[in-house]
Structure formats: structure tokens, C-alpha cells
Structure 1
């Protein structure tokens, strides 16, 4: 096991980073592929009980080993139903040594749930009803198109090449039907984009931009509808139009929801959760993590390690670690009723368990963020292996 070293405890009482050094590890031969190593674990909010969840981390994005951003929220008392205006956006910046709080403003406009960085002067942080832009000097709140009767809720954002794409849904108050939506930043304002006809109730949960003319968005059709109708939704932007990709075959008594996407030229991954029902179409038989791969012409569903049962498991994030795709999420073991972290890596032919951060098994991964050049960050909730009382919202980095 690698050596652990506590770096700092800030004057505000927030426990600083714990570096997991590899000084005791045997050096790898020249040219050899290094095994993944978690070299940094920190709890920016310190250790706290998750009962009230007054402070949460929701997403992380990186530009390099010395530049990264993590977003979340601070809730005032009143959990689980705080009064209006008391959910505040929160943000941390990684300076290469520690996470520093860099909250965009002092207002309480809602949580930040997604962050994406294209350059050190082009970072977007969004929540369901807010969007902030970092220009290298300051954060600026940017309004986006919405309708009071059919409000648009942002779920994810991807910054690329001076522009950005944000995905989500519009809820029609009169019918209760949601409609998937995409807005694009044109350099001065957000513009609503036209999508192909999408029958039924639809939403978009995640987006990945390879270039301004190569963007992938995933979501679900009829996610909240009756019966077992929910199925995959994948869209692609080629610089001119959005088009819908063919879905994998729909299985009887099976629902599939997508909440994560990761792309590179010639290869796209989409993931989420698959729910199988009993013959009556009502009782849940099992829930399990779901992942599928696009090779340019067809989808292939790839089996994931089983954490089955009524609660099962789900993938909430995908990210590239170099040329290898990783998946993160959480589940619950029916036998023990404990949370189970989901952290997988694709070895080229199958999903396998990835080395987990130095946390006990009942951790949860919310999001993964790729570090250009290799490595990735993970954020979620967990308990330090060496101290049962050391639990809270964490950020951890893997290299190798």
C-alpha cells in the first residue's frame, strides 16, 4: 500500500488534501504501462455526516495536472426542503497543490451541477437554472432562453473551441411532458438549437463535444412514463444539424436510461441503468449498470460486472483516462443494504473493476473528469479507509 501524507489543515477547519505518494512503489521498466494509482484524495468540505447533505460536490473538470474545477452546492438549514433562495452555487479550483474555494458570487440562485473547461479563460459552470462563464479573470452569470410556462432545465454542459453546448429538458406545465433541448453559446449569448422530431417525453442528460462540429448528447425517451417504455436517446451534431442515432433493440419488460457519454474520433460510449421487470410489468426484477459502444455504424451493448437486485447499480459518468474509458457510479448490495461504489475500466474487450480510491467500499462516484494527457479526477461521497469517522464529499485523482 502506498504511503499517505496529510498536507494541510486550513484555518477554516477544512481538511486539506491527502497525497498518496508512490515513493514505496517499485519503479516500472522503461516503456511499460503504469498501473493506475490514486495519488491524491481530499475532502474540501472537511468530514461531515451526509444526513443533511448541506454541502455537496457534483462535477469536476480539468485542463491539466495543475488546473481543474469542481462544482457543487451549499444548502441552508431546512433540509430536505429548504426555503426558496437558500441553495447556493459553490465552486473549487485546483491550483496544482490544493483545492481553493472560488464561489462565483454571493447569491443563492441554485446548485451548480456541471462544469466544463476548454481553456484557462473559457470555463463553464451550470446548474438547472444558472450558467456562469469564467474568462480567466472573473465569473459572469449568463442568461439563457427559457419560458415561464415551459422552463428549460440544464443538466450538462460541454465547452469547446470558443463555444459551448448545454443540454437538458423543457417541462410543459400543462401536459406534464418533458421535451429534450440543446442551447449553444455563440460567443455573446445562448441560442436554442433545433432538434429532429422526438416523439413522446424526452430529456437529455449528458453531452460531450469533440469539436464545434462534432458533439454527442444522450438521454432517455419516456423516462418517467408508465409501463416499461423508457429507452435510449442519442443525438449527434455535425456542425449543421442534429440527427438521432438508431437505438439498440428494445427488449420486452426492460427499460434503459442514459446519463453519461464519452466520445473520441470513431468511438462513442453511452451509459446509465437498465431495469428489468417481472412479467406483470410493474414489479422490478433487477436494476443494473448499462453501457453501450458505438463504432461508427452500430451499437454494441457491453455487459458490466453484476451488482444486481432491486436497487442494483447505475453508471452516472464516463471519462477517458488517456485512451482507456472509465465508468463511475454507485449501487446498493441487497445482501448487506450498503452502498457500493461502481468504478470500471474498459480493457479493450470487457469491463473490469478499476482500482478504487483509498475509501471503504460504500463510496459513491458522482462524476469523473478526464485530465488531458492522462489521469482523471473523481468526485463523490465516501469514507477514508483508515478512519470510519472521516467521511464526506471527496475529490480524488488517479494517474498512471
Structure 2
């Protein structure tokens, strides 16, 4: 079962975006405060101290900003990315303090992966990506069309990085979205064939190993569907079975998360499922949270420890699941 852990009180205007771990005892949650308010939005990072979650002190910024992704290789090497004043916002924690990092410009940064201290990639809604090689940041062309963009990135190894998103084909009423998948081999980005997906976009990628890649695909109003790569072929993973209407929002290695609603209610209650090898099993939540409408649901796992977050009318909640 997921068990709640202490979280600082955050403003109702908080939007949660992403969660990252570095080992079993370190985790970071990124988001934005001041969303849909009259004051400028500001980046937010929470960190797990081993006993509680605390709000990190971030650099002062001259303009409104938001965070959309976070990644870590170690407790003293954490990256958070987002946008501010029309440019990518990249923040780095060195174990002592957070610093703003200057990078080349790309269109609307969405996700970051840190494979090692000297191998960091940032992707966004445009065709270009950012690459840190330990010495400097470089702008790389990751997609072949200006009508394509990237939303998610993962990496089981420094020269084995995957990024996914979508492109737009056609014009006007005849336009449609198609998925794109690209791979970094240590030198260049190359378009690769993913599972046979004709429409929609790739919303989430998660790699447990070079031969174990999980892909979440969204098409129209059908919700997210899960596919898995074993190093040779793609297979479709059946969707979790749950009570009422289940909408899966994301996938990690061996996990999905989303919300479900009963047929008599439109309340979106949080739902987390774990892959047992041939089927999905619902992981219970504390009763108070299981019965509460939630948004901004997400998850990250190290294997033995899994962190989940969600937002309800009462505020932000973070939960921990261990295999002990």
C-alpha cells in the first residue's frame, strides 16, 4: 500500500509536474506555484530529506517561470527544467545550492533526463534538443520536421537515449496528429520505428534497461495505451482493469497512474497499478485519498521504492510504496 509522508503546506495555485529519484532515499518533486493567479508564476521543487518533504530554496528569477521536468543522478546532481520569459529555464543543484544554468534556446522545454553527471538531455515542443556533455551545452536537431515536437525522454545508458512526442500532418479540418520516436546513440538523433501507431502522440517513455522500454501512447479521446520494447520487438500491454471509467495518464517501468470515475460520478479518483508480469494489479491508497477527487497525479520508481504524488482540494499529497 502507498503510505502518506509529511508535505509542506503549499498554495492552492500549485501545479505538480514531475518526480525524480536518486537511489532509495532521495527524491525530488517539481512544479509551479501561482498558476492561474494574478501574481507571476514561480518554480517549485520539493526534496525528500529522509524524514519529510521540504521546499527547496531556488534562485530569484526576473520573470514568471514554470517547471515541467526534473531528473537526478545523485543527491548532489539534480536538474530541473521549464520555461521563463520565452526561454528554457534550467536549474541545477550541486548538493549545496540551486543555480540557474544558461543554455542555448529551444522551443518550450518539457522534459529532462540525466544519465550521468556528464550526460544530460533536455527536449521540448520544437525540433531541437539540448545536450550537456560535462563541459558545455549544445543545441542538437532531434527531429526532421518543424511541425514535430518532443514531450518525454528516458535513457537506460549514456548512448541509449529515447525521446517521443508528436507531429502534425495535413491542414485545417483534415489535419491530424501522428506519433514520433527518436533515439540518441551518443552522436546524433535518429528517427526510429516505434510500435505501429498511426495517430496520436507519445506522452511518456520510461526505461528500466536497454531491453525494457515502456511507452505510453495517446490517441484522440481513447486515453493512454501502453507498449513495451524488449530490445527486438514491441508488444502491446493490456490496459489496467478497474472499476468505472479509468483514464491512464502515465507509465513508468512496471507502473501506470491515472484517475478513475464511477458511472454515477464525474469525480476523478487517483488510481495506481503495478505490472505483475502478465496483468496489472491495483495498488491501494489510504481510504481518505482513495475516496477523494484528485488531479496532477504522477509517479517515479527506483524498483524497491516508489513515490507517487497527487493533488486534492485539501492540498498536495506525496505517498511512498516500498517492497519490504
TM-score, length-scaled by structure 1: 0.70
Which secondary structure does the structure 2 equivalent of 1:66 belong to? coil
What is the deviation of 1:396?
A: 1.0
CA apart distance, 1:228: 6.8
- Give the match for residue 274 of structure 1: 219
- Are 2:190 and 1:243 equivalent residues in the alignment? yes
Aligned partner of residue 230 in structure 1, secondary structure: strand
Specify which of 167, 180, 194 is matched with residue 123 of structure 2.
Answer: 167
Select 2:45's aligned residue among 68, 91, 99: 91
How is 1:1-400 mapped onto 2 (pairs within 5 angstroms)? 37-45=1-9, 53-75=12-34, 80=36, 82=38, 86-107=40-61, 108-128=63-83, 129-146=88-105, 152-162=107-117, 163-170=119-126, 180-198=127-145, 201-222=147-168, 226-227=173-174, 229-250=176-197, 255-263=199-207, 264-275=209-220, 286-305=221-240, 313-316=247-250, 318-320=251-253, 325-330=254-259, 332=261, 335-358=264-287, 359-361=289-291, 362-364=293-295, 366-371=297-302, 374-382=304-312, 391-400=314-323
TM-score using structure 2 length:
0.85
What CA RMSD, in Å, does the superposition of the two structures yield over aligned residues? 2.8
1:341–1:365 CA contact under 8 A, matched in 2: no
Deviation (angstroms), 1:191: 1.0
TM-fit CA distance, 1:222 = 2.2
Deviates more, 1:105-114 or 1:124-133: 105-114
Encode CA deviations 1:28-47: one digit per residue, 9 max, x unaligned: xxxxxxxxx3233334226x
Structure 1 residues 181, 346: closer, same or farther in 2, change over 3 A?
A: farther
Is the contact made by 2:298 and 2:310 (CA closer than 8 Å) also made in structure 1? yes
C-alpha displacement of 1:197: 2.2
Query: Contact 1:61–1:115 at 8 Å: present in 2 too?
Result: yes
Does structure 2 retain, via aligned residues, the 8 Å contact 1:288–1:306?
no
- Following superposition, the deviation at residue 351 of structure 1 comes to 2.9
**CA displacement at 1:299 relative to structure 2:** 2.0
Q: Which runs of 5+ in 1 are unaligned?
A: 1-36, 171-179, 276-285, 384-390
